[in-house]
Structure 1
Amino acid sequence: MRLILASASPRRLDLLAQIGITPNAVDPADIDESVLAGERPEDHARRLSAEKAEAVAMRHSGAFILAGDTVVAVGRRILPKAETEEQARQCLQLLSGRRHRVHSAISLIDASGRAHHRLSTSIVSFKRLHGREVDGYIASGEWHGKAGGYAIQGHAAGLIRGISGSYSGIVGLPLYEVRMLLLASGYTNA
């Protein structure tokens, strides 16, 4: 039984290791992650997860393909994966003192080619951030490439008042859902 992780994220690889799963290979999907007009945040996460799994499945016939996508949203607004300090600062200012949702979608294509999907939605509450806190977090560099401009598993943990839902889903891969999906699909190494 071969398991291919369709992600370049080292966090997802580390999360799988927490539950004793080591993929046979890592093969990131290279897809367009643009938001479609009118697309809701949870639908965006589901679509990207499915498209990543399908793209990688074409290269690994007969293997289990696991893909995921995480979207940070304030209402219907999808926050970017911050690539610049300005983007990260805008995200943090928007999240300051508010609750937001983190949608973490997973897609599994089993060895027979059938696709299975799950969505984990969590709520994260940030404290009201002061300018020095935002500046300090920006200086840490942790925000780079992170959905919503923060990483809950790092320095941002001290800025978050509470969560409701899946911590691992907020990090990037909801482990309970992953394990249940793998087991239900016949993957015996979960």
Structure 2
Amino acid sequence: MTNSGPFTNRSPIVLASGSPRRRELLADLGLAFDVHPSPLDEPAPESGESPADYVLRMAEMKTMDVAGRFRGATVIGADTAVVLGNRIMGKPESRLDALDMLAALSGRTHQVVTGFCVVLPDGGAVTGAVSTDVDMRVSTEAELMAYIRTGEPMDKAGAYAIQGVGTFLVTGIRGSYTNVVGLPVARILEVLLSRGIIVPRQG
């Protein structure tokens, strides 16, 4: 996948995720890359495991799995969680589950935490976790149910998409916007540029 943009890659890049949002974020940079999601199931968090440690473990697990099949390429993977207090919110299993999540988030501040893993062509890896605070407006149950009926919440962690219809739920953020979408672009870019994997496009 490729697109015109400010950067170009000097070696192959593989995105170890099927997320359309992550594909769009990388494509907007102008990078050429292949998409090969990991088929591994995500286990539940371990007892006492922090949200940051959990998403980092998931990102490493999935990225390393794909990197084993694409030696010599740069493989990028990530895992994102919506966190309210100590509650990690994944994708809702039903409309009622989505309503429960959205009602819990309504009028409160939560964190979106993304763990990322970049496996380099030499087999080394750079990992990290980025957290963004998100403030949500107070929404009525009727408003939340109307949003759920659009279908958008059903495949989103925390049951909303900040870049989609769900933008009306958000009153403010502190930190990386792209991290909330699913990929901390500035951090990933820093890794790729510092290792010479990508360069600014010329001409």
| TM bucket, shorter chain | over 0.9
- The aligned counterpart of 1:28 is 37
Equivalent pair of 2:55/2:113 in contact (CA under 8 Å): yes
Tell me the distance in 2 between the aligned counterparts of 1:139 and 1:89. Answer: 11
Q: Determine the structure 1 residue equivalent to 2:56.
A: 46
Identity across aligned pairs (percent)?
38
User: In 1, are the aligned partners of 2:103 and 2:141 still within 8 Å (CA)?
Assistant: no
Whether the 8 Å CA contact 1:21–1:189 is kept in 2: the answer is: no
Partner letter of residue 7 of structure 1?
S
- Of residues 34, 37, 46 in structure 1, which corresponds to 2:47? 37
Residue 189 of structure 1 deviates from its aligned partner by: 4.5
| Equivalent residue, structure 2, for 1:121 | 131
Q: Does 1:158 align with 2:188?
A: no
> Could you tell me how far apart the structure 2 residues matched to 1:21 and 1:120 are?
22
- 1:17 maps to a residue whose letter is A
**Structure 1 vs Structure 2 CA RMSD:** 1.2
CA distance in 1, matches of 2:86, 2:94: 22
- Does the 8 Å CA contact 1:97/1:126 hold for their aligned counterparts? yes
| In 1, Cα distance between equivalents of 2:182 and 2:16 | 13
Q: Which residue of 2 aligns with 1:179?
A: 189
**1:15 alignment partner in structure 2:** 25
Deviation at 1:37, TM superposition (A): 2.0
Larger radius of gyration: 2
TM-score by length of 1: 0.95
Q: For 1:131-162, what per-residue CA distance to the aligned partner results, in whole angstroms no more than 9, with x for missing partners?
A: 12111111111111111111001111111111
Among residues 121, 126, 143, which one is paired with 1:111 in the alignment?
A: 121
Q: Partners in 2 of 1:189 and 1:52 — Cα distance?
A: 26
Instruction: Indicate if the aligned counterparts of 1:80 and 1:147 stay in contact, CA closer than 8 A.
Output: yes
Q: Which amino acid aligns with 1:73?
A: V
2:3 aligned residue? none
Out of 86, 91, 104, the position equivalent to 1:94 is 104
Query: Which residue type is aligned with residue 159 of structure 1?
Result: L
**2:70 counterpart of 1:60:** yes
Q: d(CA) in 2 for partners of 1:49 and 1:169?
A: 14
What secondary structure does 1:162 align onto? strand
Matches of 1:21 and 1:75 in 2, distance apart? 36
Aligned pair count? 189
Cα distance in 2 between the residues matched to 1:39 and 1:84: 26
Q: Note the residue ranges of structure 2 that are not aligned, 5 or more in a row.
A: 1-10
Runs of 4 or more above 3 Å deviation: none
Aligned match for 1:80, one of 82, 90, 95: 90
32-41 or 87-96, which moves further after superposition? 32-41
